[in-house]
Structure formats: structure tokens, C-alpha cells
Chains A and B, each alone.
Chain A
Amino acid sequence: MSSASSNMTSNLNAVAAATAKTPSQAPVRNSLWWDAFRRFKKNKIGVVSFWVIISYVIIAILAATGLIFPDAQVPNQAEAYSSISWAHPFGTDIFGRDILGRAVHGIVTAISIGLLASTLSLVIGLVLGAIAGYFGGKVDAFVVWLYTTVDSIPYILLIPSLTFVLGRGLINVFIAVGLTSWVTTARLVRGEFFKHKSREYVMAAHAIGAGDGRKIFGHILPNVAHLAFVQFGLGFVSAIKIEVILSYLGLGVDPSQPSWGLMIDDAKNELARPYWGNLAAATVFMFGLILSFNLFNDALREALDPKMKNK
């Protein structure tokens, strides 16, 4: 008995000594997110692409507030199709507008479509996937029916039909893309909720009287949120690519708005003459943004993958 208690005191002492020591070192935080952050920091390609994305965002904000390229939209017939110069590194277009300025303003269109459409599809996918996986039964059958239906119509038909019905314009493009691209997210989240809903931590939450809403959003959702991050990035990229194609088909943003798709559409008739400024500028700017997003997504997925832990 006495030996046990002395053991205990020595243990306590050891713990006290250990805690006394720690303030001098940085506390090591061990959660899924910190692990992922540490793994992400080691991935150089991921970090570089993250900063490229941030620069795109800053340029977009500067352009949207009119601090850079304020008159990219102002036609200047006298300068139509001028060739490359310091003032116009990509030349000017048919209306004499600076192509570089148009491409920079195209970032604003692309990023806003990407953000809004992927947010919309993420919210729909998360909510539907969560309630389907959590409640099961009839709710699940309905959600599965809904996403299989949406999924069976190819996007090349569904999205043009939707924008055709809604009319063209920035808002309608993001609604059309958002309403049609939530299927994968819903399917993945549903699967995760199926797995998680009978786990011990959810049972424990149930035992202390947590309601359905609290269990879904307070307990399970944070544990499947890593999926949402990756899906958001993928949605962002595909929304931008779809916008470009829609605008080219004449179903996308309004022709008065700067858009890479509209620039490529212009280029179609200009290449033979040969004015390649529109095509080059739209491609270069789009390539930079999409590639860094693709690489960032890839790094993020690896960092968040629990199988990669301690590697």
C-alpha cells in the first residue's frame, strides 16, 4: 500500500516536472488539422502554388476595385489590333482594348464564378449527403434518386440547358454550375456519414442528449470536413473551365464582361489574320490559375489523407 502510494507520488512528481519543463518548448499540437498543416508545409510544390493563388486573388481585388487596368473595358477604335508594345504586351483587340487588361479582369470573372459555384455546390452536396447518410431509409432513397437523376444527364447538356433557360449572365452561370455539380460531394459525404453515425463518439454525444442537428453539424461534420476542402478545390477548377466553354458557346457571361471564354471566342476568328494576343493571354492566365489550383488540391489531398500520417 505504502509502496503504491509512494509510486504514485513519484509519478505525480514526474508529471509535474514534465509540465514544468514544457513552457520553455513550443507545445506540440496533435490534431488532424495540425498534422495536415505540417505535412502540407513540407510539400514545396503545394506551398508555391498556394502563394500563386494568393497573388491571383490580390490582382483580382486590385482589378475589381479599379486600382489596376481601370479602363480595360473602354473601346479605343484608333488603336484596334495594335501589335505588341510596352503599353500593350499582348496587343489590343478588335475594339482597341488592351488585351492584358482584359485578361486581368477575366481573373475577377473566373474567381467569382469559381467561388460562388463551388460554394453553392458544396453546401447542397454537404447538406444532402449528410441527411441522406445520417437518416438513411426514405430520406436516403430520395437523395440517391435525386443525385442519380442529375448525374445521368451529361453536364454538356444539363448546364447549357439550364443557362439557356435562365438566360446568360454571371449569376446564372454560377447557379447553373452550382446546381449541377454537387453530386460527387453528396455521394462522398453520404458514405462518410454512414460510417460515422454508429461510431462511439456519436453514441457518446447521443448519450449526453445531443439532438440530430447537433450530432450532424457539431460532431460528424467536422470529421468529414477534409473531404469538403478537396471537393471545393475540384469544384472551383471545373467551374472556371465550364465558364470558359459556356461563354464560348454564347451561353455564359454577358459579352460586355471580360471573360477568358469570350477572348478565346474572339481568337477563333483572329488566328488566321494572325492576331494571337487574345488566345495567348487567356491561355497563359488560365493556365497559371488552374495549374496552381490543381497542384494545390493535390498537395492538400495528400496532406489530409490519414493514410499518409507520419510519412
Chain B
Amino acid sequence: MVPILIGVTFLTFMLFNLFGGDPAVRFAGKHATAEQVQVIRAELGLDRSLPEQYLFFVKQIATFDYGRSWASKQLISTMITDGLGATLSLTAPAFFASIAFCIGLALFAVYGRGTMLDRGTVVVCLGLLSISSLVYILGLQYILAFKGGFFPISGWDPSWVDRWGYLVLPWIILFVLSLGPNILIYRTVIMDEAFQDYVRTARAKGLAERHVYAKHILKNAMIPIITVIVIEMPFLITGSVLIENFFGIPGLGGTLIKALNDSDFPTIKAFTVISAMTYMVFNLLADVLYSLVDPRVKLS
């Protein structure tokens, strides 16, 4: 965990401070004089040696104090806590609805394995995966909001009561986007269980198929399914970058795209490290859960 965190910070630091050219020059703009660049360099702490800058960066991470954005001069930690609420109210409902729906559908596909039901599910999923996510967003926004007028085209209300109206269409899009990959993953996982010996035993002792699927296959498949879900959790934070951008939702994704457009190094660095840490925490959580659910797995 710690070596990986060092790796992530080191990689991010190298990427932006060594290969990215001089941030001060970028920040000052094309028409800045040499003195102006020098002043900015001192202001941003870029006149110190690289090891010093790296240690400063590590200190920022440890204290969750990422300084201020170069573009908006806001505190980055405030930007992140502000964006988190909006992002989660977009991603969480779609994420969990999709899991429930896709596991159900995957069970049906496995039940009908070898028939057109299963084959068709796979082909439809691959078809869904063959369209760029941009097209889903643009197309559904155009058809359902612009033409159909069922939903607002874009917009946001900061109040927790009035924001949901703006979120229904983004939820639908996020849900549709997740269908292809989710069904395929859960189908593979459940299919692996469906050929185990205990399933044959359950059938041999005369259990109804309904029981075999609900009580035996699904229960055992829950172990890998939980792992998949937990590992996908960071998606709750990073998964909606494009949708937030399209619908003007002031979440983390919108902030990130803005930071990329503005060459806002500190914000991008903060986002990279935070999402990497989220990813690591959830991976660790998956390992712990795995060992709790499956007594054969021992954590070293």
C-alpha cells in the first residue's frame, strides 16, 4: 500500500514537473516577460529544488491540503468536497440499480446457456459496447430532452431537494452505459459457478432449478460478484466525467475537465492522487471482504 502510494505520487510528480515543461511558463501565458515568469515561479514554489518540491507534494497529500487551484484560486480541498456530493448523487443510484438489474439478467442468460437467449444476450451486450459513450450521451440527450422534452437538457440546482429533476436523464444514460460491460462480467462469473460439482449434486438430489440457481449458484457467485462490485466502486467518483461535462453538473468530473482545459496542474495532481488512493482503499476492502466471505482465503 505505502510503496504503491509512493509510486503514484512519484509518477504524478514526474509527469507534471519533469516532462510537462515549465509550469510557470505555461501559467504565465505566451506574452509574459522573463521577470514575470520568475515571480510566478517563486509564487508557486517552483524555484525550489525538485526533491524539495516532491517532499512538499507528499506533505500536501498527507495533510489533505492541496493548496489553491491556479485557475480559480479556490482551495482544492473545498473544490473536492463541493464536487463530491454532486458526483455521488449522479453515480450512486445508477450504479446500484445497474448491479441489481444486470445480475438478474446474467442469471437468466446462464439459465438459458447454449440457447438463443444466452447467445443473443452476449451479442446484444457486445453491440452495446460497440457504440462510443459519447454517442449515447449525445443521442439520448437529443432524443429525450431536446426533441421529446421529457427532461431538462442540462442544468443543476444546488439544493438537495430540487436537484433530482436534473438527474433523471443522466441516471438513465449512466445505467444504459453500464449494461454491456456489467452483464458480460456477471454472466462470466455466474457461468463459472454453474458447472461446479456442488451444482450437479444439488440437481442430483432433486432440487428444482429455481432453488439451484437462487440458493446454490447465486450464493456462491456472490463471492466474485462482491469483489467485482467493490473494485468498481471508484467508478462512483471517476465514472461520470463526460456526463457531468455534457449536463453541466458541477461534480468532480466537470471540475477535472475544466482543470485539464486550464492546465491547472495542482488540481489535476490532487485528483490523480485522490482517485488512486480511493482505488487502493477499495482494492484492500475487496481483499478483506473476500477473506471474510470465503474461509479458504487467508490474508498474508
Contact = CB atoms under 8 A, between A and B. Distances in A.
Nearest to B133: A245
B146 A162 contact: no
A165 B275 contact: no
Interface in A263-297: 264, 267-268, 271-272, 279, 282-283, 286-287, 290-291, 294-295
Interface residues of B, number: 43
Given A165-B20, A298-B122, A264 B260 contact: no
A74 interface: no
B134 interface: yes
A295 B120 CA distance: 12
29 contacts: A45-B123, A145-B3, A149-B8, A152-B4, A153-B11, A153-B275, A154-B234, A156-B238, A157-B268, A161-B15, A161-B260, A161-B272, A164-B20, A164-B268, A244-B134, A245-B242, A264-B138, A267-B138, A268-B138, A272-B146, A279-B135, A279-B139, A286-B130, A286-B131, A290-B130, A290-B131, A294-B126, A295-B123, A298-B126
Nearest to B142: A271
A153 B19 CA distance: 18
Interface string B1-40: 0011001100110011001110000000000000000000
Nearest to A286: B132
Interface in B260-284: 260-261, 263, 268, 271-272, 275-276, 279-280, 283
Given A152-B279, A161-B272, A249 B257 contact: yes
A160 B267 CA distance: 14
Contacts of B3: 145
Contacts of A153: 8, 11-12, 272, 275-276, 279
B295 interface: no
B145 to A, nearest CB: 11
A164 B276 contact: no
A45 to B, nearest CB: 7
Given A157-B256, A295-B123, A283 B131 contact: yes
Nearest to A292: B130
A298 B125 CA distance: 12
Contacts of A215: none
B221 to A, nearest CB: 19
B4 A248 contact: no
B276 A283 contact: no
B241 interface: yes
B97 interface: no
A291 B130 contact: yes
A210 to B, nearest CB: 34
Given A152-B280, A154-B238, A287 B130 contact: yes
Nearest to A271: B142
B51 interface: no
A39 to B, nearest CB: 16
Given A153-B272, A245-B133, 9 more contacts: A145-B3, A153-B279, A157-B271, A161-B272, A244-B134, A260-B132, A287-B131, A294-B130, A295-B126
B127 interface: yes
A152 B127 CA distance: 29
Given A153-B275, A250-B261, A241 B132 contact: yes
A8 interface: no
Interface string A126-165: 0000000000000000000110111111101110111011
Given A152-B276, A245-B242, A271-B146, A264 B15 contact: no
B257 A271 contact: no
A148 B12 CA distance: 14
B292 interface: no
A164 B260 contact: yes
A261 interface: yes
A149 B234 contact: no
A157 B238 contact: yes
Contact of A264 (B134, B234, B241, B275): B134
Interface string A209-252: 00000000000000000000000000000000100110011110
A244 B8 contact: no
B276 to A, nearest CB: 4
Interface in B94-147: 122-123, 126-127, 129-135, 138-139, 142, 146
A86 B4 CA distance: 58
Contacts of B234: 154
B152 to A, nearest CB: 15
A291 B138 contact: no
A56 to B, nearest CB: 13
Nearest to A245: B134
Contacts of B257: 249
Contacts of A271: 138, 142, 146
Contacts of A286: 130-132
